[in-house]
Structure 1
Amino acid sequence: MDLKHSAGGAGDNSETFIATSKSTDMITPKEKEGKGVKAVGGPNPPAEGYKVYARRWAVLILFVFYSSSNAMQWIQYTIINNIITRYYGISDKWVDWTSMIYMILYIPLIFPGSWFLDKVGLRITALVGIVGTCVGAWIKVFSVDPSLFYVSFIGQSIVALAQVCILSLPARLAAVWFGPDQVSSATSVGVFGNQLGVAVGFVLPPMLVPNSPDLETVGSDLQMMFYMVAGLTSILLVLMVIFFQDKPPTPPSAAQEAAQLLESSGAEQVSFMQSLKNLMTNRNFIFLLLSYGINVGVFYAISTLLNPVVLKYYPGHEVDAGRIGLSIVLAGMLGSVVSGIVLDKTHKFKETTLAVYALSMVGMWIFTFTLDTGHIAVVYLTASLLGFFMTGYLPVGFEFGAELTFPEPEGTSSGLLNASAQTFGICFTLFYSELFTTFGDIAANITMAVMLIVGTIITAITQSDLRRQNAQVPAASGAGNP
């Protein structure tokens, strides 16, 4: 695929989006097509349509694998918690910290990270992230010795730092590259990358590092796993440098054109701090910050503590613990795609968000009271149900946030949502761990379910202020005007 852009757009497959159309795949009528394409070469898109480029899919797919390479390392240690503690001779609390370090480092860096994304754009931000992910993965290659857990933790911390250059990108990438009736689906695919990585992180370590009584065998297996991850991230680094692009030659929608005009206008350009102030004084966005943080924080807590919870009822089933985690994430991937399609087709952001949130809460209650049935297949089923809605909520929250905060940069709103998720994730993980140790899994899971009830109520009182959708109205009403 030729990803280089020629000045006139020749040789690059593209689709023309009609401002009043409900589909980005509808082609402009032939009598307007020539005029429209010609106008696209100028500084502004034509009134009758906006152009989307075929290369957007290559950029999105590259981002999916890039995001996956980082996310797969988040749960890499905790899903084989009992094996890691025995090999390195450390407490399980230290293993939990290999997951929580992702959350802790993200919180103070979200503001400089969002500022960096706004200043340098998608390409540079993504390249910084893949370099950090690759360097951290290679450091872990040299940590395979019972006395070198600190080296592994350093590598994990560098990978966690790189996450700052990933989590805020899906909504921004979708808005910059995709038309208005594909942007929600594109965001869901971008979030899908993170979920894919978590899925691999759940299933691969238990398979590559089985619970062998011989520590030398465990060390050899760990070495192989670390080499595989480092090799993969190195290949992705090369591909990102060659193919990942910042933005298309022309904006794909009226909303994106307006956003780019604001960015390029010195008189109207909003500073990063002013943008933050606008977001933090947006009542509906504050409600979304709280509800989003609760939902994703519960998911982080369950994912981090999944190994000991499953092993409590099914001893010796380390591989099943990983596969249950995989089931949660795979179901969540499906939920993300379904949610994205529903949003693109209906534009019912508030209604979709509330429905998915409420069903996440119901799924948590079902999961809580089916762990002790004695049939691990039931756990697979209920965990998948929970994952479909809870993980499927991620892109829905991003898109609802982008709607509530337009024309503020999507990277900033997404970054704040992620910061909220990380904050709640740390608190809930520590709280869940303490409850699990002291009172057992039922008390811990019920507490998380109650938190989801609170989140559902907050979502219900959030108003549907769809500012980005409203930005499309002038374009639609002005279509065909000179």
Structure 2
Amino acid sequence: MGDEAKSMEGEVNDNLYFSKTPVTDAGVSFQHHNTPPETHLYKKRWIMVCLFSSYSLCNSYQWIQYGIINNIFMRFYGVDSFTIDWMSMIYMLTYIPLIFPVSWLLDKKGLRVIALVATALNCAGTWIKVASARPDLFPVTIVGQFMCSVAQVFILGMPSRIASVWFGSDEVSTACSIGVFGNQLGIAIGFLVPPILVPNVDDLDKLASHIRDMFYITAGVATFLFVLVVIVFQERPEIPPTHAQAAARQISPESYSYTASILGLLRNKAFILLVISYGLNVGCFYAVSTLLNRMIIEHYPGEEVNAGRIGLTIVIAGMVGSLICGIWLDRSKTYKQTTLAVYLMSLVGLVIYAFTLNLGHLWVVFITAGTLGFFMTGYLPLGFEFGVELTYPECEGTSSGLLNCSAQVFGIIFTICQGKIMDSFNTLAGNLFLCAFLLIGTIITACIKSDLRRQLANQQALAASHLETSPAQAFEAKL
């Protein structure tokens, strides 16, 4: 085909094919068949992951757009700070009960249906919020934010699935990082843009106009992306990109049980440890992000715009970290070692941030927050890809869904607890509370067994195909 390049994995013997048998704790086994495996990498794979990244950006932007100007929305709608915190936490709360039906839908209907539902819900939520830009319409803005939070459930578990379905084995981690990149960039814009578009003015009519303008811009972008997904987004490539995907396609829908898949994941000890450690790390990130405005304003009054810029610094540094980690994983395949190292540095970064926040120098906060973001946000794709490796051939959306579910649960708990600790004591006590759980998460990560099943599947297929196509070399190797 003119728009595709054949992967190295596609260079196999015409008389050999490997189909996957059920995975056990011992790994993946293969059987011989007569049909040759054919694998191709399509150029359009980059369009798919970038389009996903774009609508993920639009959705994640709205997660933090209330929290980063917490004090402004408190005055505009006449509510307390904890109520505005729930405008972010609703994203976490909605995810918990909906992830299992959405994961089932992803398994049954595929990527395109999930993408269409996600962008439709996100678009609807943004237009509802346009109508809520009045001080007496806080319940309406809650409905709009709720719609966007439901859309997020259809988004968070997709990066690893898109990477596996569209990309070769030597680029899945990079592709997953690009998918997560959009979510992180959206959070970064959510930190930066609202304080600029909605200045802290006294006139409520002017404030309403600024808020409405912000909502209109978001709605316009969401509508454009919805139309683009309808026209462009595809379910999967005609020819699979890897042997692992070729084998996965051989599993008949009748033989697949979603309930059995969930139970299998819950019996996977290494994956359960990852679920807990991932939840602790990402939950801490959610708490820090949600409460960032309150932390900065407490020590640097009137610095709403700089609070947004500090949030931007956290996420931009994390995006760089994500891409570097993704590229490194594709080249080294050191999933556990890299995950553990980044986890440990997340702990170190949060300790440094906690003890430097009250020094009175904003430039120090920018540096320490950027360091924290590089590792803590950079950890996100690592967890996804490590989870896929530990649980292959289970659906990537299911494993990612469980990881994200854990993150939402811990995110709600940590945000509420840290907020109460900050109210009763100070920001240092609140951040040290999170540091304690990051230490626990680091220890748990060190205990995870590195059982890289997806890598084993591809290596077995390639090794067997090379032996089959080069019998002389195989004979020499035996000698």
TM-score for the superposition, normalised by structure 2: 0.92
1:172-251 matches, within 5 Å, as: 172-251=161-240
Distance 1:301 1:432 in 2: 7
Gaps of 5+ in 1: 1-8, 21-27, 37-42
1:59-138 matches, within 5 Å, as: 59-138=48-127
Answering whether residue 321 of structure 2 is matched by residue 331 of structure 1, we say no
Answering whether residue 422 of structure 2 is matched by residue 433 of structure 1, we say no
CA contact (8 A) 1:19 1:479 kept: no
- Give the match's secondary structure for 2:301: coil
Write out per-residue CA displacement over residues 145-199 of structure 1, whole angstroms, 9 at most, x where no aligned residue.
1100110010000100111110000000000000000000000110111101101
Distance 2:239 2:354 in 1: 50
- Give the match's secondary structure for 1:248: coil
Answering whether residue 411 of structure 2 is matched by residue 422 of structure 1, we say no
Q: 1:356 to 1:235 in 2, by over 3 A?
A: same
C-alpha RMSD of the superposition: 1.7
Distance 1:225 1:394 in 2: 28
Gaps of 5+ in 2: 16-32, 470-479
The correspondence for 1:411, drawn from 391, 397, 418, is: 397
Amino acid at match of 2:316: L
Distance 1:46 1:286 in 2: 36
Distance 1:359 1:134 in 2: 37
The correspondence for 2:298, drawn from 312, 315, 331, is: 312
Distance 1:233 1:209 in 2: 20
In the TM superposition, what is the alpha-carbon distance from 1:258 to its structure 2 partner? 1.5
Identity rate, percent: 53
- Give the match's secondary structure for 2:440: helix
In the TM superposition, what is the alpha-carbon distance from 1:127 to its structure 2 partner? 0.5
> Which residue is 1:285 aligned to?
271
Answering whether residue 257 of structure 2 is matched by residue 271 of structure 1, we say yes
Write out per-residue CA displacement over residues 416-462 of structure 1, whole angstroms, 9 at most, x where no aligned residue.
00000000000000001000100110110001011100000000001
Distance 2:349 2:243 in 1: 39
Answering whether residue 363 of structure 2 is matched by residue 377 of structure 1, we say yes
CA contact (8 A) 1:143 1:149 kept: yes
TM-score for the superposition, normalised by structure 1: 0.91
In the TM superposition, what is the alpha-carbon distance from 1:259 to its structure 2 partner? 1.4
Distance 1:316 1:473 in 2: 57
Amino acid at match of 1:474: Q
> Which residue is 2:27 aligned to?
none
> Which residue is 1:258 aligned to?
247
Write out per-residue CA displacement over residues 204-237 of structure 1, whole angstroms, 9 at most, x where no aligned residue.
1000001111111110000000000000000001
In the TM superposition, what is the alpha-carbon distance from 1:265 to its structure 2 partner? 6.0
In the TM superposition, what is the alpha-carbon distance from 1:50 to its structure 2 partner? 2.1
CA contact (8 A) 1:45 1:250 kept: no
Answering whether residue 445 of structure 2 is matched by residue 459 of structure 1, we say yes
Distance 1:157 1:138 in 2: 12
Write out per-residue CA displacement over residues 70-114 of structure 1, whole angstroms, 9 at most, x where no aligned residue.
000000101000000001111111100100000001000010010
Distance 2:64 2:188 in 1: 9
> Which residue is 1:14 aligned to?
4
Amino acid at match of 1:259: A
1:121-160 matches, within 5 Å, as: 121-160=110-149
Distance 1:285 1:183 in 2: 19
In the TM superposition, what is the alpha-carbon distance from 1:374 to its structure 2 partner? 1.2
Distance 1:270 1:100 in 2: 34
The correspondence for 1:52, drawn from 28, 41, 44, is: 41
In the TM superposition, what is the alpha-carbon distance from 1:404 to its structure 2 partner? 0.4
Query: Structure 1: which 4+ aligned runs deviate by more than 6 Å?
Result: none
- Give the match's secondary structure for 1:464: coil
Q: 1:235 to 1:44 in 2, by over 3 A?
A: farther
